[in-house]
Amino acid sequence: MTTTACSGPDNLHWEGGGTSRIPFAVYTDEQRHQRELDRFFYRGHWCYVGLEAEIPNPGDFKRTVVGERSVIMTRAADGQIHVVENVCAHRGMRFCRKRHGNTTEFVCPYHQWSYTPDGSLQGVPLRRGVRQDGKVNGGMPADFNPRDHGLTRLKVAVRGGVVFASFDHEVESLEDYMGSTILRYFDRLFNGRKLTILGYNRQRIPGNWKLMQENIKDPYHPGLLHTWFVTFGLWRADNKSELRMDAHHRHAAMISTRGSMGQASGQAAQVTQVSSFKESMQLEDPRFLDIVPEPWWQLDDKVPTAVMTTLFPSVIFQQQVNSVSTRHIQPDGHGAFDFVWTHFGFEDDSPEMTERRLRQANLFGPAGFVSADDGEVIEFSQQAFDSKPQHRALAELGGREVGETDHMVTETLIRGMYEYWRKVMEAPEHTAEVQP
């Protein structure tokens, strides 16, 4: 049997010419990582920065990142939301150190330059010099104009209480960026009800940032890796399910409806004949399975119990039964990323539903009954990639092509993501920011 190979402009070897065999080198090269930041995070793409509910009042702010650049999401006195880069226009210091707060101005401690919440420069100490012995010493040049030296402003889009930003002011609209297919699932979760913040988890995962996008585009592993999921029926290979993508195959939604708990019967029994299924496993607190269907779950004639939506490159929107959260991917070099979970509810939730959401959130986060597994396998994968960068991973479950499916027994979403990745990364420099 013969195989073909394909190399991109950086001589990256793709065995077979498609995207079902992924070179380890996509996870290990720092120069390639810098190109990813430029082409996916800083040009032509929208990135998640937070929820409106995190900054409800004028003067509120949240420090976060776009790619590896520190940014601040603010609410100005007029209620408008702004996102500005956390880099002083004077000498380039990252001046904001607090994660959250409220302020009428941002002051850089280095030389006390001050800015309004929308990023406008409002104060420059000694701008007009110092009068001494009858003359004025120093000062800024006569043509210095504060309006030319504000903080770098990002383009902002808000939909359903979710805030996105882009350094690229020519980026397409957020709605066009998501595409009609993924927008339906986004609007199902963020349907106009006011959000409330329930809490945060933060973890640092020593692996390439794309591995988390892959993880939530991979329906193969949940019923095998996660004991909790397969034993209690929250996510199994025999669940009724769908996989959906945008036209570019960069974003995806995995949709699943929970099956019966415990041992499956008949032909479906094979899904529990794996080492991760623990028939004798019992909960100390059965309230973890106190699942209450909500009206907003319904989409057309279906009522999914779980929808995991990945927006490339920066965020995952999670609904797992009553637990809802955002998961923000924050790269830090080619071999690590910070992963920030924002757990939320809705303003009209009953106290019982809020408690239920918080209780079910224990499945997720760095010590979650489910998600702890993901952090470990990503770390161990990265270790292997770094030790053998000339090798490749295999993503051929369900074939080698890319397309939507009505089942979970496939790795098509991963193949689709790398199809898009290759289009952007292999484009000549002068066309890299053009949407494929």
pLDDT digits (tens, 9 = 90+) for 106-145: 999 999 999 999 999 999 999 999 999 989 999 999 999 9
Asked if pLDDT for residue 267 goes beyond 60, the answer is: no
Place of tokens 């209690």: 232
Q: What is the residue extent of each domain of the chain?
A: 47-156, 175-425
81 pLDDT above the threshold of 70: yes
Start-to-end Cα distance in the chain: 33
d(CA 47, CA 67): 8
pLDDT score, position 233: 66
Between 3.40.50.300, 3.10.20.340, 3.60.20.10, 3.90.380.10, what CATH number should domain 175-425 receive? 3.90.380.10
Q: Please determine, for residue 271, whether its predicted confidence score (pLDDT) is greater than 90.
A: no
pLDDT at 284: 84
Look-up of token digits 């609410």: 75
> Do 175-425 and 47-156 fall under one CATH topology?
no
pTM of the model: 0.92
pLDDT grade for 368, boundaries at 50, 70 and 90: confident
Name the phi and psi angles at 290, rounded to 5: -80, 80
Mean local confidence (pLDDT), 224-239: 72
CA atoms of 62 and 43, how far apart (whole Å): 22
Query: What confidence tens digit (pLDDT) does each residue in 330-345 have?
Result: 999 999 999 999 999 9
Bridge partners (DSSP) of residue 338 are 204, 330
Q: Provide the pLDDT confidence category of residue 173 given band limits of 50, 70 and 90.
A: very high
Phi/psi region, residue 138 (left: phi>0; alpha: psi -120 to 50; beta: rest), is left
Q: In what order do the strands lie in the sheet with 252-257?
A: 195-205, 337-346, 323-331, 315-320, 306-311, 252-257, 240-245
More confident residue, 266 or 169: 169
What's the pLDDT band for 224 if we cut at 50, 70, 90?
confident
pLDDT at 278: 62
The yes-or-no verdict on residue 199 having pLDDT over 50 is: yes
Whether the predicted pLDDT of 240 surpasses 60 = yes
Classified by CATH at the fold level, domain 47-156 comes out as: Rieske Iron-sulfur Protein (2.102.10)
